Amino acid sequence: MLDLAAIDRPLADLLARELEEVTIIFERQLASELSAVNGLCVHIEKYRGKMLRPTLVLLSGLAAGGDPCDGSALTGQHRAIAAVCEMIHMATLVHDDVLDEAEVRRRGATVNHLWGNESAVMLGDYLISNAFHLCSTVGDPAINLALGDVTNTLCEGELAQLHHRMDLGLDEPTYLEIIKRKTASLIGACCRLGAKLAGADDAVGDALHRAGIALGVAFQIQDDLLDLVGHEAEVGKTLGRDLDKGKLTLAVIHCLGAAGQDERGAALRLIERGDAVALREHLEQRGSIAYAAAAARRFVDEACAEFAILPPGTGRTLMEAMAESVISRRH
């Protein structure tokens, strides 16, 4: 996602070592007495990604922990909570891949064909359950409550998104509310908890929470843009899935909202036909791609403004670089 080593080699190395420990905690937590369960857990590896959430927990702890930015502010709790947040995220990925019948009919078994819906559901449940179990081992009821609140919000976002599926009247505030819940709430919690566990005061925790929320919104807008205009080989997954699932994203919402009656009709026909190539061209001509990219830019700026509360130093510099990378990424 981002070459942190180009900015600060020692800190990048430190983060890499910490992330390795997070991975060990992650895998140890999921190991089961039952070989059948371990056999299924192997499939989780295909969801391994950028480790954005654990990185933000650790980096928030480093950046808020004061000088020297040498890892002394990080605790075992950071690593456990980093693993918990990644586990919650992976559960949502696994469950997002469960298809409804319409999907099966329309696209054939493109996703999930390896092990079927039921295994995907149970595997996701196993991840959620282990996330809460691991969280409970930290022994701080306030963290359990905070993350329980986040997962409630996250599920509400997913349910609201399903409710608005095929809703061609979806407006921008509703879209932003949905992605704030389903994506940004967890990222906000990563930043806040990382800072809190490093002993930061409430003002810093609150600022990093707001920064994480803004970052999460920017991240999702960029994700949705890549689904529309990315290159499949770079993004690493089938594009146009949002449209297939009846999910309207910011560029499309802008295009439908800004258009006159005739233009709206033309865009709607492209959406209904599922013609991703023609729609992409249409959105570019109407300035809707640029509109969504500018919105993501604004949220990144918002996050960076919040980082001003952090002590100046490499920690803060890396947080800013992370924020930039959220919208400059191609996958």
> Minimum CB separation from its own copies for residue 139, in Å?
5
Annotate 288-314 with b (16+ C-beta within 10 A) or e (fewer).
Answer: bbebbbebbeebbebbbebbebbeebb
Q: Does 110 bind its own copies (CB under 8 A)?
A: no
Q: Which of 1, 7, 12, 40 binds its own copies (CB under 8 A)?
A: 40
Residue 188 or 230: the one with the smaller Cβ distance to its own copies is 188
Q: Does 3 bind its own copies (CB under 8 A)?
A: no
Q: Which of 1, 107, 144, 284 binds its own copies (CB under 8 A)?
A: 144
Name the one range near its own copies by CB under 8 A: 115-123, 184-192, 214-222, 319-327.
115-123
Q: Does 168 bind its own copies (CB under 8 A)?
A: no
Q: Does 124 bind its own copies (CB under 8 A)?
A: yes
CA torsion 84→90→92→93, rounded to 10°? 170
Q: Does 16 bind its own copies (CB under 8 A)?
A: no
Q: Does 242 bind its own copies (CB under 8 A)?
A: no
Pairwise CA distance, residues 232 & 9, whole Å: 31
Q: Does 119 bind its own copies (CB under 8 A)?
A: yes
The footprint of its own copies on residues 69-98 (CB under 8 A) is 91, 95, 98
Given the structure tokens 């070989």, which residue do they identify? 35
Name the one range near its own copies by CB under 8 A: 7-15, 43-51, 71-79, 113-121.
113-121
Beta-carbon contacts of 266 under 8 Å, excluding residues fewer than 6 positions away, are 259, 282
> Minimum CB separation from its own copies for residue 273, in Å?
22
Q: At what angle do helices 185-197 and 76-96 cross, to 10 degrees?
A: 170
Q: Does 37 bind its own copies (CB under 8 A)?
A: yes
CB–CB of 198/184 below 8 Å?
no
Q: Does 139 bind its own copies (CB under 8 A)?
A: yes
Residue among 266, 295, 296 nearest 282 (CA): 266
Residue 68 or 76: the one with the smaller Cβ distance to its own copies is 76
Q: Which of 117, 264, 275, 331 binds its own copies (CB under 8 A)?
A: 117
> Minimum CB separation from its own copies for residue 137, in Å?
7
- Helix ranges restricted to H, the chain: 9-30, 35-41, 52-64, 76-96, 101-107, 116-137, 141-163, 172-179, 185-197, 202-229, 232-235, 241-244, 250-258, 261-273, 276-285, 288-306, 314-328
Given the structure tokens 């604004």, which residue do they identify? 298
CB–CB of 185/214 below 8 Å?
no
Q: Which of 4, 15, 26, 126 binds its own copies (CB under 8 A)?
A: 126
Q: Does 44 bind its own copies (CB under 8 A)?
A: no
Pairwise CA distance, residues 200 & 51, whole Å: 23
Q: Does 32 bind its own copies (CB under 8 A)?
A: yes
Q: Does 42 bind its own copies (CB under 8 A)?
A: no
Give, in order, the Cα–Cα distances in Å from 198 to each of 55, 112, 146: 14, 40, 17
Q: Which of 19, 93, 122, 259 binds its own copies (CB under 8 A)?
A: 122
> Minimum CB separation from its own copies for residue 177, in Å?
8
Pairwise CA distance, residues 54 & 86, whole Å: 6
Q: Does 236 bind its own copies (CB under 8 A)?
A: no
- The residues that touch its own copies, with contacts defined as CB under 8 A, are 32-34, 36-37, 39-40, 91, 95, 98-104, 109, 116-119, 121-126, 128-130, 132-137, 139-141, 144-145, 148-149, 151-152, 154-156, 158-160, 162-164
